[in-house]
């Protein structure tokens, strides 16, 4: 519990200049706060890899669409600080919206292609908000290593693409999804779920696992696999499917048959809450 919370860009820059001067490597985990075991696994890995670990906590308005949950998104900085610092974080950067997007802000970073399918189709502008804020964080924090969760698979691929394309001099690490005992992928949004929705939510992972089993038994037809997952998920009356997609892992384009590596990704609503999950399969 020896870490520091900084709210201003100039202050975080000045602190990190000191860190750099000591030739320390910097690890960075961007978050929207309300930390769960998924985030903490990233922080612990950054702690192992790097001399100095920074996390950002910022609910980024730019990545929320009209009618989405920007206002309701859960926030608890003192709880987050306790969790982050006890898992090896040295510095929390928690800027205000005005600090990140002052009057006149007009610059956006956008990745084409990868952003059009899956969540990009359901949430127009979402990934532009993500890539813009992450570019800003990278420029402020200048990390050597940065850590993202596989749970946001599309986001992770987009960030990797962006880092390559913009020649950012850092390594992106994508770490496995952390799940509750019943298989539900950890997410800050799980706190939105009513009791009966929470009970129903593991159906997402059950659907994904069933598809994986079928693939292991030889199924390669995407249509059959999507039908199988759809059937399992719709067996839960509370679940409303946003999308279930099986795509090429490199370019996120829909495929017909599974060959090589593929991403099975889905988004499902339970009441007002939209949950995502995915697995990577390889044949």
Enzyme catalytic residues: 39
Among 167, 195, 217, 218, binds a copy of itself (CB under 8 A): 167
Question: What separation in angstroms does the CA of 96 have from each of 6, 60, 92, 159?
Answer: 11, 9, 13, 23
CB of 43 to a copy of itself, least distance (A): 23
Measure the CA dihedral 3/7/9/15, to 10°.
-20
Token look-up 């670990």 returns 53
CB of 95 to a copy of itself, least distance (A): 10
Among 166, 231, 261, 271, binds a copy of itself (CB under 8 A): 166
**Residue ranges in 229-258 that form contacts with a copy of itself under rule CB under 8 A:** 251
Query: What secondary structure does DSSP assign to 115-164, as a single string?
Result: TSSTHHHHSTTHHHHHHHHHHHHHHHH--SEEEEEGGGHHHHHHHHHHHH
CB of 75 to a copy of itself, least distance (A): 23
- Number of residues located near a copy of itself, criterion CB under 8 A: 27
- Residue 46 or 141: which CB sits closer to a copy of itself? 141
CB of 99 to a copy of itself, least distance (A): 10
Report how far residue 227's alpha carbon sits from residue 115's, in angstroms, rounded to the nearest whole number: 24
Question: What separation in angstroms does the CA of 116 have from each of 127, 151, 152, 158, 159?
Answer: 9, 18, 15, 11, 14
Among 18, 72, 113, 259, binds a copy of itself (CB under 8 A): 113
- Residue 61 or 74: which CB sits closer to a copy of itself? 61
**Residue ranges in 8-27 that form contacts with a copy of itself under rule CB under 8 A:** 9, 13
| Lookup: tokens for 226 | 């999507």
**Residue ranges in 85-104 that form contacts with a copy of itself under rule CB under 8 A:** 104
Q: Does 111 bind a copy of itself (CB under 8 A)?
A: yes
| Lookup: tokens for 187 | 């997410």
**Residue ranges in 116-135 that form contacts with a copy of itself under rule CB under 8 A:** 131, 135
User: Cα dihedral sign for 153, 158, 159, 160?
Assistant: positive
**Which residues would be at the binding site for a copy of itself (CB under 8 A)?**
9, 13, 104-114, 131, 135-136, 139-140, 142, 161-162, 165-169, 251
């Amino acid at each position: 519990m020896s870490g520091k919370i900084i709210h201003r860009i100039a202050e975080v820059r000045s602190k990190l200049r000191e860190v750099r001067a000591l030739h320390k490597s910097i690890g960075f985990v961007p978050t929207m706060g309300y930390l769960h075991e998924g985030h903490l696994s990233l922080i612990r890995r950054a702690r192992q890899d790097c001399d100095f670990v920074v996390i950002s906590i910022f609910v980024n308005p730019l990545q929320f669409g009209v009618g989405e949950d920007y206002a309701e998104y859960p926030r608890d900085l003192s709880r987050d600080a306790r969790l982050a610092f006890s898992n090896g974080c040295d510095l929390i950067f928690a800027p205000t919206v005005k600090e990140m997007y002052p009057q006149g802000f007009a610059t956006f970073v956008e990745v084409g292609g990868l952003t059009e399918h899956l969540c990009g189709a359901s949430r127009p502008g979402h990934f532009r908000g993500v890539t813009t804020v992450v570019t800003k964080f990278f420029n402020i924090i200048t990390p050597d290593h940065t850590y993202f969760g596989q749970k946001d698979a599309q986001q992770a691929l987009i960030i990797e693409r962006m880092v390559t394309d913009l020649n950012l001099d850092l390594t992106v690490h994508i770490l496995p999804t952390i799940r509750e005992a019943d298989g539900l992928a950890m997410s800050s949004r799980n706190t939105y779920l009513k009791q009966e929705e929470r009970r129903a939510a593991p159906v997402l992972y059950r659907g994904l696992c069933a598809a994986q089993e079928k693939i292991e038994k030889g199924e390669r037809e995407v249509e059959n696999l999507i039908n199988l997952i759809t059937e399992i998920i719709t067996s839960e009356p509370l679940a409303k499917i946003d999308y279930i997609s099986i795509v090429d892992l490199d370019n996120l384009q829909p495929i017909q048959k599974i060959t090589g590596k593929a991403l099975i990704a889905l988004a499902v609503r339970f009441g007002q809450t939209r949950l995502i999950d995915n697995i990577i399969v390889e044949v």
